[in-house]
Amino acid sequence: MLSTPLPGIQVDMAVAPTAASGAGSGIAFPTPRGRMADLRAVERRDARALLTLLSSEEVSRFAAPAATNLDAFERFIDWSAAQGLERRQFCFAVVPHGTTAVGLFQVRAIEHGFRSAEWGFAIAFAFWGTGLSADASALVLDFDTLGAHRLEARAVAMNARGTGALLKVGAVQEAVLRRAFLCDDGHQPVADMAAPNAGWTSSTGCYVDQVLWSILDEDWRHTRATWRRQVLVH
């Protein structure tokens, strides 16, 4: 998962009439159904399951602090819906076929008109390594629907899975943001604390480096074409 914070829980479009197409998010994707999961606006009914799944130690290790209670998570969902209708940010639930929500994607505007935006995601630990994040990313990275030219993401430098997910969709590393993310003491292993990019700041945690990644619309077109060729070959 990426370390982009989501306000209210700290962990990607006209309103559509059905939940599957993104009702409440402020945007509708042409193809909200992937090979493994559906993408839809996050709803209050998702709050309890997502709070439990995304608060696990594995998921929260490289995320900003999560909401600690159901009320806070529900308020975040309400806020996200309002932000989506104003086209300031969009938040989507990842729902594997036939199950409940197991992850979130968020895209928020950096530049007016959504030409540049920041995105982040969190997926339940049980679905790591299954290809679910790539499947959902292929739905979210719809530059034409978003109206975006550039998307940015931040990932903790030592977050190998987050880095792998970004590389898979064609993202390019642009910069290292030194000591930009505070890792909670309870989630930071001793081995990592000895790393050159780690430094204790207090008894509650330490600051570690983040990597700034970007993906342009032409990067995604190239990646998508490569994926399709691989499917045809196999």
From first to last of the 234 residues of the chain, give the pLDDT tens digit: 454 444 333 332 222 223 333 444 556 655 578 899 999 999 999 999 999 998 888 888 877 655 778 999 999 999 999 998 888 888 999 999 989 999 999 999 998 878 999 999 999 999 998 999 989 998 888 888 888 999 999 999 988 888 998 999 999 999 999 998 887 644 443 333 333 444 444 455 788 999 999 999 999 999 988 887 664 444
Other CB atoms closer than 10 Å to residue 160's CB: what's the count? 11
185: closest CA among 201, 168, 169, 161? 201
Q: Which tokens go with 234?
A: 């196999």
140: closest CA among 8, 130, 132? 132
DSSP 185: G
Torsion angle of alpha carbons 151, 17, 93, 79, nearest 10°?
80
Question: Which domains are seen in the chain, by residue range?
Answer: 19-233 (3.40.630.30)
